[in-house]
Amino acid sequence: MKRAGTHRSDSERIDLTVRDYGLDGGIASAHTVRKRRIRRQTRFLAGLAILLVLTAGGIWLIKSLSGNTAPTTESSQPTTRPSATTAATVTPHPTSTPVPTPVPTTTKPQLSAEERQSLLQQAGDEVVHYLDQVTTGRIGIYFQNLVNGESWAHNDKMPFVAASSIKLGINTYLYSRVAAGEISLDEVLRYDNRAYPTGDYEAGTGTVQNLPNGTELSVRETSKLAITISDNCATNMIIRRLGGIDAINPWLNKISGIVDYRQKVSYTNYAGQSQNGRHRTCARDLGLQAVRLFSLWQENPQVYAPLIEDLSHTEFDFGIKQGLPEDLVVAHKIGTNGAYATENDLGIVFAEEPFVLCVLTEMASAERARKIQTDIAAIFYEKVASWPWP
């Protein structure tokens, strides 16, 4: 059954077909029309999307320009996430053993020479008062400020067993030969396991004594072992390369030879016993050897930097170093000899005003001796650091 109102003539159907599907007519024309409608819809939607994007971009640009011209205020509270610029300018915490910069101090201190010497004497008086309360042995002290040269001493010419503290002077002489072009740090040395002085072997501290005979080490490696772990055999290898201790000793005596290292010395030890022997020194002699090293290092930092570096990174952090802030560089050389109750420490302290401190001790307790060295270093550091600068 046909629904009413739907009947059309053939001419009407043809006219409707032409208007709806085009002149081609038929099923294929109907698909074409639908495709065209889809394309028109797609173009419309694409245009609408572009319009929305442009509108959103315009709004964002207006807000951005408005934000850049608006005045800014700094919050009183720190931000939890610093900007990249802030992070780049943050200064890292200093390491425990920073490398010192060999730049001579040129700033003039505000205090007069008399005022500075007076403050140094106050520090010395405090040290003497401290020693009167704690000392049960012999102590020699030498202090020198490396900016203006003020010095203070206590029993600084009293003889003590040098022990390994003499290795600072021996290696300073080695590096002076390097600076003169007479020795290369790359030169190879061979370990001779015969007993010193014929060979290099000497019992005590160090690892070279455990190496096979003929083991090769560079001068740089040998010196580093002599300083950082106080290797006795490595020290003897250096001495042999320098021509023997009697070839080194005159150079040391030119610096200061109050107690000749190669001559026998007679004295009374802390226990009241008579002593007579060689390889002795005093606080002034060792202290001035350190002063000489500091001077050479400033004159030629490239050559002497490895020695300063080694002295600043020894395995022995007791004594002077314990009385100073952890971030200070201390280039030091300890010396111990249990048979003679000897505990020595000699160091260059790279404070704002660098100074040399040498504390030689002879007493029954090594622990007490090291504590005394620590406390003396703290007293001098406090006084030196308190001197005002412009």
String of DSSP letters for 329-383: -EEEEEEEEGGGTEEEEEEEE-SSS-EEEEEEEE-S-HHHHHHHHHHHHHHHHHH
Q: Tell me, what's the pLDDT at 32?
A: 44
Q: At what angle do helices 366-385 and 113-134 cross, to 10 degrees?
A: 160
Are the C-beta atoms of residues 357 and 380 closer than 8 Å to each other?
yes
Question: If you count them, how many residues does the chain have?
Answer: 390
State whether 170 and 27 are in the same domain.
Answer: no
Strand order in the sheet with 342-349: 151-154, 138-145, 355-362, 342-349, 330-337
Looking from the CA of 182 toward its CB, the CA atoms found within 13 Å total: 9
Domain count of the fold of the chain: 2
Looking at the domain assignment, is residue 304 inside a domain?
Answer: yes
> Does one domain contain both 28 and 157?
no
350 and 224 co-located in one domain: yes
Evaluate whether residue 357 is within a structural domain: yes
On whether both 263 and 364 belong to a single domain, the answer is: yes
Confidence of residue 38 (pLDDT cuts 50, 70, 90): low
- State the pLDDT confidence band at 300, using cuts at 50, 70 and 90: very high
Instruction: With respect to residue 153, please indicate whether it lies within any of the assigned structural domains.
Output: yes
Q: Is residue 308 included in any domain, yes or no?
A: yes
Check: CB of residue 135 under 8 Å from CB of residue 371: no
For the segment 288-301, the average pLDDT, to the nearest whole number, is 98
The pLDDT confidence band at residue 383, using thresholds 50, 70 and 90, is confident
Cα 214 → chain centroid:
35
Predicted local confidence at residue 135, as pLDDT: 76
Domain co-membership, 121 together with 244: yes
Looking at the fold, whether 278 and 374 belong to one and the same domain comes out as yes
Mean pLDDT for 215-232 is 99
Mean pLDDT, the chain, rounded, equals 82
Q: Is residue 349 part of a domain?
A: yes
Residues 40 and 146 in one domain: no
Give the residues across from 330 on adjacent strands: 349
Instruction: Specify whether 218 is located in the same domain as 289.
Output: yes
